[in-house]
Amino acid sequence: MTGRPLWQWTATEVVAATTAGEVSCREVAVAAVERMRAVNPRVNAVTLDLGDAAIAAAERLDARRAHGDAMGPLFGVPITIKDNVEVRGQRTPNGVAGLAHVIARDDAPIVRHLLHASAVIVGRTNTPEFSMRATTNNALYGLTVNPWDSRISCGGSSGGAAAAVATGICAVGHGNDIAGSIRFPALHCGVAGFKPTTPSEMPLASVQGPLARSIADVRTAYAVMTPRPPAGDPAAGATDAIGADRPRIGLVAEIPGMPIAASVAAAIRDATRALEDAGYVVEPIAVPDIVASGELWLRFLMTDLQQLVVPVARRIGSREICWYFDAWVNGLPPFSEPDAFREAVAARNAFIARWTALLETHPVVLLPQRADPLLEVDEDLRSVEHLRLVLRGYAPSATMNLLGLPAVVVPTGLDEGLPTGVQLVAGWNREDLCLDAAAVVEARCGTLGERLWRHLE
């Protein structure tokens, strides 16, 4: 570790060194802040520089350690918080110019969890307007640039977090996911991103989760961000279907109605080889119609947005976001009649039942996060017809939100200089299973941080 700048260290490395007293939290914070101020002008990932406050917070952590006080599981780890959750005394604009004046009176629960774990917030990260687009761009703060290629979208809506993690501004980025908003930017920026199980009592909830450069960091941050019963505990979910250390993995290499791009197919093959070499049995499976289930979820989401968000966007949103919502409604309209909504709920229940049976025989599923190549910047604003294709491309991701399943995106390498990756899904509350499989893929395929940093030099 000593041969690398502190801003390149993983959260796991930082915690090991700060808790042992080998490195101070202040040193880590200074390195992260300097990196942020050096690279952020190029990528525009961070919208609010909290560097000075971060260094002061790190000094307080060092003082706590010196006094023998408890040290949290993220002791001294530099993190960012997405612009759509509350941090006391700060604005929460969610990419909307009309909300830039709104100041939070208290910390959101997710922020309290992270601060209680002794993490250090170095900045707030950009998001599209209302966190509802495939490109992180807005009239308030502008475009977050994909550090690999400025032509390519950094994803949305946690695009600022993904770019911050990828470039070394922070070790862990906070994100949230209602249709792929963690996993989509993770794929586009070449980092790992994790959506935990959606609580059954909140089926339309945006789930909080981490982005990081390693699965080990994802696992540590997830444990802090989403306190749950220990994974594998019978109270937490079903047991492994075959009762072995390596559960059988279902492979979805083809999706009817969605041609698979060559780079995506190669990523699936690389992940399959990694898993098989580690002792997993990976075999093709037939899954319920992913296009239909993904589009069903987006119609549920628009039904919610039509009541809660679209009226606000009409008053204070930009012309682009109003067009976006209109085009979405045109292609995937909300459920406006009670009978149609009841039928949609019945269809969702049918999908859940079929996936429940599937996960009993194959507790982990390997599939693309998206079947198409990476999106270009503002590709979702080209035309009504093209937005329909973009939204359709969300299906492998949005399906997991429809079902509420935990899902992780892990990088597999580069294709023509752009990141590739796969999605791994497990049964409800079996976060351990998909993270274990993702760690195997990472061990074989490697992480992309150092390759990006060389690219940026």
DSSP 103: B
Tell me the three state secondary structure of residue 274.
Answer: helix
Helix ranges, 190-248 (H): 215-225
Which CA distances in Å does 418 have to 42, 214, 267, 408, 450? Answer: 18, 18, 12, 19, 14
Other C-beta atoms closer than 10 Å to the C-beta of 376 total: 15
Q: What whole-number distance in Å separates Cα of residue 102 and Cα of residue 238?
A: 43
Q: What whole-number distance in Å separates Cα of residue 155 and Cα of residue 66?
A: 42
- Kindly give the interhelix angle for 25-43 and 159-167, rounded to the nearest 10 degrees: 120
Q: What residues contact residue 388 under an 8 Å CB cut-off, 6+ apart?
A: 327, 331, 332
Query: What secondary structure does DSSP assign to 64-80, as a single string?
Result: HHHTT----TTTT-EEE
CB 366 within 8 A of CB 436: no
Q: What whole-number distance in Å separates Cα of residue 387 and Cα of residue 385?
A: 6
The Cβ-side half-sphere exposure at 194, using a 13 Å CA radius, reads 34
Active site residues: 82, 157, 181
- Kindly give the interhelix angle for 290-308 and 395-403, rounded to the nearest 10 degrees: 70
Work out whether strand 78-82 and strand 120-125 pair parallel, antiparallel, or are unpaired.
parallel
Q: What whole-number distance in Å separates Cα of residue 26 and Cα of residue 7?
A: 12
Work out whether strand 364-367 and strand 407-415 pair parallel, antiparallel, or are unpaired.
unpaired
Tell me the three state secondary structure of residue 286.
Answer: coil
